[in-house]
């Protein structure tokens, strides 16, 4: 008997969230990528991108994930950035 079903809640959502978090931890461990390293990358990206685009730094996220190469089928680590854009700066440089 599933106790969560008695209270009308499904454990599937939290199960999926936990799986995604575990995947991120494993990717970080396998790439030997520390949190300070990701923060350094995030800072460099913000500096560079801010020359061209006004971004929301509070919503800016950088993380390591796994990706499958479609041509060879191998699993690769990938750096993924979520960059909320406020507006594009004048392109007449």
pLDDT tens track for 71-93: 877 777 788 889 999 998 886 65
Give the total number of structural domains in the chain. 1
Say if 20 falls within a structural domain: no
Find the domain containing 88 and state its range. Answer: 34-93
Say if 77 falls within a structural domain: yes
Q: What is the DSSP letter of 11?
A: S
Say if 40 falls within a structural domain: yes
Residue-level pLDDT at 30: 61
> pLDDT grade, residue 1 (50/70/90)?
very low
Distance CA 18, CA 64 (A): 16
Of the candidates 71, 67, 65, the residue with the CA atom closest to the CA atom of residue 28: 65
Write the pLDDT tens digit of every residue in 18-56. Answer: 777 777 666 656 666 677 888 888 889 899 999 889 999
What is the SS3 string spanning 12-49?
A: HHHHHHHHHHHHHHHHHHHCCCCHHHHHHHHHHHHHHH
Say if 9 falls within a structural domain: no
Say if 78 falls within a structural domain: yes
Say if 88 falls within a structural domain: yes
Q: How far is the CA of 26 from the CAs of 33, 71, 80, 82, in angstroms?
A: 10, 24, 15, 20
């Amino acid at each position: 008997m599933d106790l969560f079903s008695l209270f009308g809640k499904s454990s599937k959502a939290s199960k999926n969230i936990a799986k995604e978090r575990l995947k991120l931890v494993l990717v970080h461990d396998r790439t030997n990528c520390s949190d300070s390293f990701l923060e350094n990358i995030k800072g460099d990206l913000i500096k560079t991108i801010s020359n061209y685009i006004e971004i929301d730094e509070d919503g800016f996220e950088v993380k390591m994930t796994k990706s499958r190469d479609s041509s060879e089928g191998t699993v690769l680590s990938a750096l993924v950035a979520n960059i909320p854009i406020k507006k594009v700066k004048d392109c007449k440089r």
